[in-house]
Structure 1
Amino acid sequence: MGELSVTSQEGRSEATPSPIVNEAAPVANPKQNTGRRISNLVGLRSSRSPRRPRIWFEILLVAASYWVYSLVRNAVPEQRTEALRNADRIWSAERYLGIAVEQSVNHAVNSVTWLIVSMNYYYATLHFIVTVCVLVWLFHWHPGRYAAARLALFATTGVALLGYYLYPLAPPRLMNGGHFVDTVLVHHTWGSMASGNFKNMSNQYAAMPSMHIGWSLWCGLTVFALASAPWARVLGLLYPAVTLVVIVSTANHFWLDALGGMACLAFGYAVSYAWYGSLPHHLPKRVVPPCGRTRLAGLSARTPVTARRPAADAAGAGRR
């Protein structure tokens, strides 16, 4: 038995060399690669995840953004001839569609002094006050949705500036032969940047799209989607509807200007959805801390890198 065993050992062919050239070279660890991929994915998502807003940063951001908006809007060349020509085209298109009733509404409301004066002040003030109030409400009660809603508002305003530049449009009150009543001039009300003593401080031919509609509809939809009180939700829907009546009654906009404001808002929500992957009201109410990302990153960093030897070598070492 002993000789037979020795013979079989001597007659065995020499083992083929291992295909591993350098045992010291690190071998890819599937768990490590998976952890790295997950960490990168989580990092990408977290960069787009809503973060808790900071009050002073938001105040400065909103103030600076409105300043830039006003600066750019008023820096657009006042192309009077083209703006009046476009107003005639809008008016003709509305008459063709059978919706050219702005003049009748303007004269009817102007005949009721207390109503038109109230609308003049509404047009001059609530446009800013309500928008700021909704931003503050979101910041305090819905911080997880604030950034997405703010992005929608900013994108809406940004694309509106492009409209002012590409399509100068005179408001109805400045049309040649339109017979509209400039209600601010007639009733000497304060506050409108479009008439009276302030008209030289604002671009008179930036009527398309209407940001009174774009901003008021943003406010209304936000309140309607997030408010819990039924009366607040009703007010949210009424606000853009009343704003529409006001901009027409004061002869500051056509119906189609309002449609342009709605289109800009749709673009704003599309930008917000593309960045955050959801509409603002579908996001969590509170900001979720990124604890999952930290845990995954730590797990990936602690994954050991080891060189695995072939099973045959390990068995041979055991015999030696």
Structure 2
Amino acid sequence: MASVSIVVPTFNRPKLLPRAVRSALLACPEDGQVVVVDDHSVIPAISVLKDISDTRLRVITNGYEKGASGARNFGVFSAFGDAIFFLDDDDEMLPNYCLRVMKSGFHGSLAGYCAIEHVELDGSTQTISRRGLDRGLIPDSASMRKKIAGLQMGFWIRKDVFQELGCLDPLLTTDEDTDFTIRMCSENIGLWYDPDPGVRQYSHLTANKGGQLTKTTPKDVVARNYLRTLSKNHATFPPMHKARWFLLSRFLRRAIEAHEYRLAWRVAMDIKPLYLSICGIAFLSVKTIARPRRHLTSTLINRLFIQR
């Protein structure tokens, strides 16, 4: 059986990290490893984990670009596993997940992800899954949204494929997972989906915005990260491919949320091909009209055209 490495990037989460690492060790095969990549935390991860004694655990300091992407890239390069699993430092990996993947998905695909067990504030749990997807390779006919896998969704990939695709973009402080899986799609690399949960997340962490980087990053920064993903990837698909509209519309939504109206209109008017630009302009017109307490569309368009 191929070897497994679980990569856990961490930054300033000393109370949550031990729980994540213990869950990873429970899920990790006996001949696998758990690689914790400390992105220069104030309290070093090695001291936080000093009470965990397991030969499979390796704690290293990020030697690449600072940030979640750089830490994950460094972890992958430092790992010996054929299969790389990613786990966030505030989540838990369920005990049988790696074994499930290695017995099924790893031999049928190059990468994959799974459903999530979500723990509510009252302690109850629910499974968050992608509707309409069964266990196995995601069909080509599936929407682009279903082909996008977050790295917190039990994401795994063959190490050689991760490296051949150029790893995660260190300039993206968020949305690096969408950028990466979009690149996978452009190379026709299919994803394996498991409808049974492989990771556990907690509502109290997402409720106080401690669980997801996208929720803690300023909205204007998120919008610009989405724009980078759009700029890098939309032209890799054929002109009429649905992925182009998927990337443009998700950026426009984020730009509107951040009140980055001028940027949104500039991108919509400049993007190619023409049909995509027309769709973007129509989309913005509808969205801005639907927000009467914000800038009226007519006033906004006049200002934008004057200042272009």
Using structure 1 for the length normalisation, give the TM-score.
Answer: 0.21
- Higher RCO, 1 or 2 (CA under 8 Å, sep at least 6)? 1
Identify, as 1 or 2, the structure richer in strand.
2
**Larger C-alpha radius of gyration, 1 or 2?**
1
Identify, as 1 or 2, the structure richer in helix.
1
Using structure 2 for the length normalisation, give the TM-score.
Answer: 0.22
